[in-house]
Structure 1
Amino acid sequence: MKNCIKKVLTAAGVAGAVFGGLWIGTKLTSETQVRSIKPFFRRRSPYILAHRGGMGIRPEHTKLSFDKASDFNVDGFEIDIRMTKDEEIVVFHDAYVDRTSNGAGRVSNMTLDELKKLDFGYHFRDVEGNHPYRGDKDAKIVTLRELIESYPDKLINIDIKDKPETYEGSLIPSALYRLITELGAEDRVLVTSFFDDQISRFKLYSGDTIALGAGENQVKNAVLSYSTGFKHMYKPNADTFQLPLKPGTPTLYSQGFINFLQSLNIAAGYWVVNEMDQMDELIQKGAHTIVTDYPDISYYLMNERY
């Protein structure tokens, strides 16, 4: 038994020595890479972005929501995009229109004209359970072009939703880049996606000219580097991390992790934050961006405490 314990302790010591040697070696040979700050991030922080235009108080991704969020002085909007059958880029989250409209079917199987005929205020309920926006003329789908042109003073956080392996997913990175440059919106858009491949494809066109978010794999790599003590080896390829607040992920919104991102000039953003105290806590820790369903709540926070 004593021999067994001795062997275990010896093995642990060897492992510790190897780990320590590896850490020292990488620390001496690795050079920390700090991101240059893109124009998108040069305004005063914290940024308050209305999630899908502020889906808690108006029908998501409609003119109704974007107008109302603007009344609450948000810095911009966090939106999702998809491509239609006739290759128009629309501001929309789901693959299907069923949840939010009076229609049915995939966005990619419908033309823009077909989508424009649908009522996207149909299913929205207010706090009393009513449907106040059914049939409203502004409860319509919005194209990305319309959004960028209609709100020239707002920042726009764009999340590519079409999967890389789909036809529309293969087209949207290049189409998105062309639209952004055509409208001269390079400095006020941020492009991101849960799919790392979509961010990489977009970057083939944009290079280092447009702010980029991190996909899931990049975030996982950063968390692993930070948690294992090898954060000096992490090489960032994004200008911001947009992180969820959910049980079991305390590292993502810890003071240490936010400091780590700040040291690399990576803006720490959090979604979806709908409670005033939680918003305040994150801002106090140094969070750069708060994405919320309720821009009215963020408005009162920023006016009362900041």
Structure 2
Amino acid sequence: MGKKTNIGLALAASGAAIWAGSKIASKPTPRPSKKYFEGEMPRIYAHRGGSDLAPESSMAAFRNAAELGATGFEIDVRLTKDEQIVVFHDRFIDRTTDGAGRVADYTLEELKKFDLGFHHRDLQGKQSYRGKGEKIITLKELLEAFPEHFVNIDMKEDPDTYEGSLMPSKVWRLIEKLGVEDRVLVTSFYDEQIDRFSLYAQDRVAIGAGENEARKAFTLFKSGFGHLYHPRADALQIPTKHGIIPLDSQGFIEFLTALNIHVDYWTVNDVETMDRLLRYGAHGIVTDRPDIALELISSDEE
């Protein structure tokens, strides 16, 4: 055996030892438990109130989901011209109301003049909510109207905008004022927004992972370096696949669960996928059809 071979073997052995050592030294620490996650699982979150059944983000949708028995709501929030937090997904109001323009260009009073049920079609294809008085609501109105429900709050504003710069602090102040720290989970696609919110909340509120954090978790799991993952969020809300990459494996769910990270999948509207994800151990389903999801859970309990 030549000198170079001996050196190569020594380096290989050294590398293996370093890798093994890092694996031991880098054993991930599970996230501390939050009160938000106490209670029965799985949870059924009505996506924007259950937008297949009633106008999305409307009080009618949230009331309907609550009556069906949904555990909570998955919502989006934006900021108005007069800096009020409203429950609304799009940057523009055109798709869901009879108005046009950016949410941020209207005051709350102006936004409430538009018909939130204008474009909605029910399961029979009828515009059954047009002209029925459904209006854009505030986050405060929602939280006060449903004191027993969990609310998953997605901050939609880009952190580089004026509205985005204010949103994390505004959301925290409202949560603190209403004393709802234990029944809300705050998240965003933007990791920067979650970081900003966390500066105010100081770990008093459950937070979801941003897009980069979720990508990091999956990449380390898939590459076999899951031991290097140190979670910075209490929950991952993810689709079943990202592009062509499946995110719904039982192994990934178990990996996250072992770290005390709750896994919710969105937006799942067919019973077969719901059933499979729940059998794999998913903690929550975000759906436009809470009626289907709740019927599935009820049949499983019988």
Indicate whether the TM-score tops 0.5.
yes
SS in 2 for 1:158: strand
CA contact (8 A) 1:258 1:287 kept: yes
Change in CA separation of 1:17 and 1:215 when aligned onto 2, cut-off 3 Å: farther
1:98-247 matches, within 5 Å, as 98-137=94-133, 139-246=134-241
* 2:296 corresponds to: 301
Pairs aligned (count): 296
Structure 1 moving runs of 4+ over 2 Å: 12-23
CA contact (8 A) 1:196 1:215 kept: yes
Q: 2:38 aligns with which of 42, 47, 68?
A: 42
Q: 1:84 aligns with which of 51, 75, 80?
A: 80
- Residues 1:289 and 2:275 are matched in the alignment: no
Structure 2 Cα separation of the partners of residues 146 and 300 of structure 1 = 28
* 1:7 corresponds to: none
SS in 2 for 1:178: helix
How far does residue 249 in structure 1 lie from its aligned partner after superposition?
A: 2.3
How far does residue 25 in structure 1 lie from its aligned partner after superposition?
A: 2.6
Change in CA separation of 1:231 and 1:172 when aligned onto 2, cut-off 3 Å: same
SS in 1 for 2:19: helix
Structure 1 Cα separation of the partners of residues 11 and 254 of structure 2 = 30
What are the ranges of 5 or more consecutive residues in structure 2 without an aligned counterpart? 1-7
How far does residue 14 in structure 1 lie from its aligned partner after superposition?
A: 10
CA contact (8 A) 2:190 2:210 kept: yes
Equivalent position amino acid for 1:199 in 2: I
CA contact (8 A) 1:23 1:230 kept: no
RMSD of Structure 2 on Structure 1 (CA): 2.0
What are the ranges of 5 or more consecutive residues in structure 1 without an aligned counterpart? 1-11
Q: TM-score when scaled to structure 1?
A: 0.92
Change in CA separation of 1:15 and 1:216 when aligned onto 2, cut-off 3 Å: farther
How far does residue 32 in structure 1 lie from its aligned partner after superposition?
A: 1.9
Change in CA separation of 1:15 and 1:241 when aligned onto 2, cut-off 3 Å: farther
Change in CA separation of 1:21 and 1:126 when aligned onto 2, cut-off 3 Å: same
- Residues 1:32 and 2:28 are matched in the alignment: yes
The percent identity for this pair of structures is: 51
Q: 1:57 aligns with which of 38, 41, 53?
A: 53
Structure 1 Cα separation of the partners of residues 155 and 179 of structure 2 = 19
